[in-house]
Amino acid sequence: MSVEPSTISSRGSASIDPTDAVPEGDLESPEVLHVDDLPDDRFSNREMSWLAFNERVLTLAEDESQPLLERAKFLAIFASNLDEFYMVRIAGLKRRASTGLQVTSADGLSPRKILGRLSERISNLVDRHARCFKDVVNPELEDQGIHIRRWDALDAHEHAQLAEYFESKVFPVLTPLAVDPSHPFPYISGLSLNLAVLVRDPDEQVQRFARVKVPNNVPRFVVVSESPTESEFLPIEDLIAAHLSMLFPGMEVVEHHVFRVTRNADFEVEEDRDEDLLQALERELSRRRFGPAVRLEVTDDIDPDIVTLLASEIEVADDAIMRVPGLLDLSSLHQVYDVDRPSLKERPFVPTTNPRFAEGETPKSVFATLRDGDVLVHHPYESFATSTQRFIEQAAADPNVLAIKQTLYRTSGDSPIVDALIDAAEAGKQVVALVEIKARFDEQANIKWARALERAGCHVVYGFVGLKTHCKTALVVRQEGNLIRRYAHVGTGNYNPKTARMYEDLGLFTADPSICADLTDLFNVLTGYSRQTEYRSLLVAPQGIRAGLIERIEREIELARAGRPALIRFKTNHLVDEETIDALYRASMAGVQVDLLVRTFCTIKAGVPGLSDNIRTRSILGRFLEHSRVYYFGGDGDPEYWIGSADLMHRNLDRRVEVLCQVTDRASRGHLQDCLDLAFDENISAWDLQPDGEWVRSNGEHRDLQELLIKRLATRRE
């Protein structure tokens, strides 16, 4: 880590120079390792690989074997995913295309060419998504007593009931905005639903345009009626449209249409060593609200003249206008999913407590447990509350604990982790929290937590200039007689109890002196002037992870060349780093079996003769978001297992502080081995990447990996 002799501001932000860090959204990459025997077209397009991932999400919504409300949830996830894709990736591509610079991605395409290829594919997926809801899922919801009504389908009694709700809850927060020579076209905030309204003055017979914003602080679907077997909803925009005359008394409402705008959120903090990092971020957050529009969504029955007006005023090109059949913003189907109908959802399960952390139903001291050896927990199958949360809470309450040091990237609105850190500080313990205030879309929440921690007396560091601190680490220092002993947690997921119930993640608890010493050194780098770049038992980015992984890939290559068994298995969210991919290609060409489990972005080509014959790439989607990162090297019978927060992307390896930790405990390694074996079992339901770049769903028994793990870990607990 190339550290300048910098200052720590009054807000606690350290200054560090990651050798001209590239903004997170950019396609420009570090210089790729050129290998003469590898073809130029060896990388797939990153954005197209993301669309393939979201298509897999849509396939789950279309899958009739999925419980009905789970299908509605996958429709909502698809919509939310696409929103973020436009806000970040499409926005970034448009920005680069507008500069006129012909900067190409690793597959040789310019931003303009990528946008052209994406346009038709997105249009087809959006139409398929809308029709899946309109023609299939919604009618099936109706059959099950879950109704999304339109205003005209309700009776007089329901109209009267909803009119009362409108007048008391909705009408007071509405503000109709006229557009005329004295009223300029209003600013349309990103992702908000809006009504474009045409009204006519009965005296002058002149039509005028107005915009009504649908408030985002009331539910999207108004409950019309609810019982154990029937639920009836009305879209809030229908309720507002039915009462437009109250907003424009004395005027005739001619027509109305719903529209939605997506804006660029691909901003970068202009970080200055002499400026408070918190102030710089708050300035950029205010700018984000006013980013240029990158998409205009309208219903497919909208008046063409209204579309022309909206496009002109919002300043979007024709290719950024998306006509959608049916309801806009199906991400709101999460509200429908919350209906209490267990028979229409995956069977509920209660996470178990790792047996090392309890005697029957009685919790054990985490510290006493770790003195006997490491513990690996697997969320959400094993409880976050009785492992990670309890670790921090016991440390906060233990009078022998002297200090707690922790990184916080994303946490929840009501965070027991933050509460425990505040309790610890108020009890007189030394508490250091590195709160990454640049975590995209969680900036405001993290600023709030950072200030709350500061008020309680915690030492808060807001991160580095030029780098995000993405590692998930915690260190507890405890006085034990005449000894000072340290305890640590290294995880693959955030310290967030809510996402820990939905994200699949791993966490290693240890009192290993080497790992704890490494984390002590790392926290000194994060909070002070330490220039340390080498560690005993950790791989740390931005220097060590890519180099460490490639070194181990090369070791497997040498084993294969010597005729010995060689195997590499990676489980990661994203695989786009060219140097790592080239190393995997070389491994395949040397005869190493390479198994890859990649959830989302994936630019490697699998099974291509002469290039990647020995590379098998899979993707698994299910009720939980596959989120853990595991890196395995066979070592000819002396295997290595590494877990941590780093995906194989430029941003993770070059522009973030990331940590990978080696797992050496025999039982923990056994669990990781079982999980990897299951993931690559031909009878597990998964998508396999084909040599032509298409993802094909497996035709085996379609056993569900996550259901198998629920059963296995529950059995282990019993």
pLDDT at 37: 80
Question: From residue 343, how far is each of 69, 77, 166 by CA, in Å?
Answer: 9, 21, 33
pLDDT the model gives residue 283: 60
Instruction: Confirm if 471 and 445 have CB atoms less than 8 A apart.
Output: no
Cβ neighbours, 10 Å, residue 498: 15
pLDDT at 410: 82
Q: What is the pLDDT of residues 70-99, one digit of tens each?
A: 999 999 999 999 999 999 999 989 988 887
The secondary structure of 350-402 as a DSSP string is -PBPPGGGEETTEEPPHHHHHHT--EEEEETTB-STTTHHHHHHHHHH-TTEE
Residues known to be catalytic: 470
Span 552-592, pLDDT tens digits: 999 999 999 999 999 999 999 999 999 999 999 999 999 99
How far is it, in rounded angstroms, from Cα 234 to Cα 213? 17
Residue 141 pLDDT: 98
HSE (side-chain half, CA atoms, 13 Å) at 630:
33
Which helix (H) or strand (E) element contains residue 679? helix 666-679
Query: Half-sphere exposure of residue 308, counting CA atoms within 13 Å on the CB side?
Result: 3
Give Cβ neighbours of residue 644 (< 8 Å, ≥ 6 apart): 471, 472, 490, 492, 539, 545, 629, 658, 659, 660, 661
Determine the pLDDT at residue 294.
95
Q: What CA–CA distance (Å, rounded) separates 113 from 569?
A: 34
Residue 102: what pLDDT? 62
Q: What is the pTM of this model?
A: 0.90
Residue 182 confidence (pLDDT): 73
Please report the pLDDT score of residue 12 as a whole number: 42
All residue ranges of the chain with pLDDT < 70 are 1-36, 100-103, 267-290, 412-413, 439-442, 699-701, 716-718
Question: What pLDDT does residue 557 have?
Answer: 98
